Chain A
């Protein structure tokens, strides 16, 4: 099946810093989403981005489908950005959503 790899696995930032999270996937996808899981476990959908670039406030994402990767940019990080960021893809074959292992982010005040 499709493999989804996220990097880095862990990231510590000083408040105000910028960061880039990466998601590589091994096969063509119909859907790619970035999620933020807060400390209470709730998954917040950040972007639905099977291709192209989107921005929402301090967050933006780019997916290059032909090269099978996606990037999530966090600018001017805040302590509330802490949590786990997951990349999830739906392969072109089938309709299951497969999650990467996540990037655990901690933003220090």
Chain B
């Protein structure tokens, strides 16, 4: 089945630095990928939709200058948290859909736990 690989699994960074998270579709091409954020004991909240070759679409309340998204190829989307602060500490998960799949379900990466100290 469709596999989405996400790296790193966890990262600790100092306040004020930037962190890049990668999301790759391993066995299919994804023109669209999605980035979610999950705070402890809460649900997944969609942050942005990443579109290959064009600008990402951000959900209301998400700062596009803080969360930079680049979808440069059909198999890779990256999320960069710029000038991270402790309140950015969260679990970030990406997802994509294999349009060639008969189920048309979404597959999720394993997530990245970001801790900003």
Contact = CB atoms under 8 A, between A and B. Distances in A.
Interface of A: 31, 33, 35, 41-43, 45, 48, 86, 88, 90, 95-102, 104
Interface stretch (B43-51, B62-70, B75-83): B43-51
A25 B95 CA distance: 21
Given A99-B36, A104-B41, 9 more contacts: A33-B106, A45-B108, A86-B43, A88-B44, A95-B32, A99-B43, A99-B44, A99-B45, A101-B43
Given A86-B43, A86-B44, A97 B106 contact: yes
Contact of B43 (A41, A45, A90, A102): A102
Contact of A45 (B49, B107, B111): B107
Question: Chain B contact residues: over half helix, strand or loop, or mixed?
Answer: strand
A90 B103 CA distance: 13
Nearest to A4: B43
B93 interface: yes
A96 B113 contact: no
- List 6 A-B pairs, minimum CB-CB distance, nearest first: A48-B105, A43-B108, A48-B103, A99-B44, A41-B111, A101-B43
Mostly, the A contact residues are strand
A62 to B, nearest CB: 17
A61 B34 CA distance: 25
B105 A43 contact: no
A98 B45 CA distance: 8
19 contacts: A33-B105, A33-B106, A35-B108, A41-B38, A41-B110, A41-B113, A42-B108, A42-B111, A43-B111, A45-B105, A45-B106, A45-B107, A86-B44, A88-B106, A96-B34, A96-B46, A97-B34, A97-B106, A101-B43
